[in-house]
Chain A
Amino acid sequence: MTSAFIIQVQPELQPNPNEETAALLRVLIYKIDNTTFGDDVPPVPQWTGPPHAIVRVQAILYASLAASLFSAFLAMLGKQWLNRYASIDMRGSAIERSQNRQRKLDGIVTWYFDHVIESLPLMLQFALLLLGCALSRYLWGVDMTVASVVLGITSCGLASYAFFIIAGAAFASCPYQTPGAKILRHILPLALSALHSASSHSYFINTINWWCKEIRGFRCSMEYVKMATTTTLVSPVVLSACVFVDAFLLARAMVRVFVVNALRARGWFRGVCGWDQQTASLDLQCISWMLQMSLDKSIHLLTLRLLATITTLADFNPTLISACFDILAGCVSIVGGRVAILQGSEELAVASALCFLRTLSYLTTMDPASSIFKDMHRRYAKTFPIETDFKGLPSYHNFCIIHNIFHPSLKRVEGWRQARIDRRPKIQWGDYKPSSTEHVTLVQLARSEYQRKRCQKVPRWMLRIGHHILSQDPLPSAAVVADWLSIIAMDLGCTISGTTALDEGCVHI
């Protein structure tokens, strides 16, 4: 379509030979018979370059053509990429092949492959818009009526597209979803918050507000006239100064945003560069993907048991934690403040509670300020209210520990005294004997809980676990005992050297 139109308009960029021939013929006839055209000699037209309007139309048309060809080119490449993703390397064992596939899938997520493919039609739509613009501009010079029809339909299409974008961005359930709506949904909250902060910090708006208040206050008094005169005298100077300050602030904010984004891009790029080297965490990536994608309980159980046997949980994707929590929440039901495990998912509940606790303890150690942790906090509090009773469950202690992490005891001021209100059910330790991996998890948790509450005490329930473990008859290994002793020492306010390796840390009193 575009190129058809281009061919139509193209001759107007060059001198028209027919016009010249006609003019020369006219001159010839004039020479033969002077009476045909009156007295004046018919002029021979001089070519002075193509008209400006036509040049503009042609430029827009070529842009449209280039955009549509470029999107076709990208679509072709995209098909090739998809084929490459689908092809399976025939070498290696089943495990290696699966890990290879997971690596490719992670690459797709890291490099935003789906976003790129989904935004391809955007370019095509843009090309269509350019075509509409060029067509209406060209026809405007030819005939107004035809041009207005084309212009009307183009603007109708544009308006409906804008409607689709806005409706898709505003309502997630709207079926008219476009890539533009996705982008808008991401950008709009940022833009609104930026606008809000800008308007509250803007000297221009503040000054105008102040004047409005002043004038309203003085309106009824005699001083209003005086005020009005001074305002008109002062206003241009003050206003321009305000605009100046605002411009400076805006520029500073923009530079800051740019720097922040550049740093983020650098971090992303570093992550991408380091991605191919790390194969140790591929198992964890596979597990994480499996937990999120599958709905089969037997697969969940198998995956969680594999996760429980992995000893080093370094560098895992934080979404693993929420996947574990989803499974945990899926196999319990809360009736009247008591937790009951659904029929047939007892094993799953035990495995998911253990894995949730383990991954959580690693996350609190590695990244205590993680956004995932805050999100989990919100979701946990919604699913398990503070008074939830876990008595009689298969892995009662793990549930209780998780519950205590997400519901810390609150400090509240009641009247004149400050009291700690603890509505959590007390944990009955009984004959609790943690396994060796659970020992590591618990110590890590205690340490990170202590670090999270800077310069405060270790939570009491943590200390109670420590006391329980230290009071067992065959004591656990020496490293575990040393860890718990050092945590108790930290609570007592001693300085400990070498906090990175707790089991080797020595206490100075």
Chain B
Amino acid sequence: MAKRLYSRKEEPPSGQEDYRTRFYERYRHEAEEYDREFIKRYDEDLSTTLIFVCFASPMPTMC
């Protein structure tokens, strides 16, 4: 069954190593996209916290 399916593709896979290389290529693309969003989300959260603290704490100098 597996062989019949593979024969439909243009590039015949040579086994596990081939799959592995191709898989990790795709993985890197997906991971980059995911990580960018992940880091952006938490970075914004932390920035908000920092800005709030900066606003709330050193007000004393004004009084």
Q: What residues make up the interface of A, taking CB atoms closer than 8 Å to B?
A: 1-4, 6-8, 65, 68-69, 71-72, 75-76, 78-79, 82, 85-86, 94-95, 97-98, 101-102, 114, 117-118, 120-121, 124, 127-128, 283, 286-287, 290, 293-294, 299, 302-303, 305-306, 308-310, 347, 350, 394-395, 435
Contacts and interface: CB of A to CB of B under 8 A. Distances in A.
A24 B59 CA distance: 37
A71 B30 contact: no
B45 interface: yes
Nearest to A86: B39
A410 to B, nearest CB: 32
B57 A293 contact: no
Contacts of A102: 31
Interface of A is mostly: helix
Interface string B20-63: 11111111101100110001001101111110111011111011
A6 B1 contact: no
A71 B57 CA distance: 12
A65 B57 contact: yes
Interface of B is mostly: helix
Contacts of B22: 302
A133 to B, nearest CB: 15
A94 B24 contact: yes
A76 B59 CA distance: 20
Contact of A290 (B30, B39, B54): B30
24 contacts: A3-B58, A3-B60, A4-B60, A4-B63, A8-B63, A72-B50, A72-B54, A75-B50, A79-B43, A79-B46, A85-B35, A94-B24, A94-B28, A97-B28, A101-B35, A118-B45, A120-B46, A124-B52, A286-B24, A290-B26, A290-B27, A310-B16, A347-B5, A350-B5
B53 A68 contact: yes
Contacts of A7: 60, 63
B5 A3 contact: no
Contacts of A98: 24, 27-28, 31
Interface residues of B, number: 39
Contacts of A310: 16
Contacts of B25: 94
Interface of B: 1-2, 5, 13, 15-16, 19-28, 30-31, 34-35, 39, 42-43, 45-50, 52-54, 56-60, 62-63
A65 B58 CA distance: 10
Contacts of B24: 94-95, 98, 286
Contacts of B31: 98, 101-102
Given A3-B60, A4-B59, A6-B60, A75 B26 contact: no
B5 A75 contact: no
A122 to B, nearest CB: 10
Nearest to B17: A309
Given A78-B42, A286-B27, A309-B16, 10 more contacts: A78-B46, A82-B39, A82-B46, A102-B31, A121-B45, A124-B56, A302-B22, A306-B23, A309-B15, A435-B2
A330 B16 CA distance: 26
Given A3-B57, A75-B53, A290 B62 contact: no
Contacts of A117: 42, 45-46
A120 B42 CA distance: 11
Contacts of B15: 309
| Chain A CB within 10 A, most for which of B1, B21, B27, B49 | B27
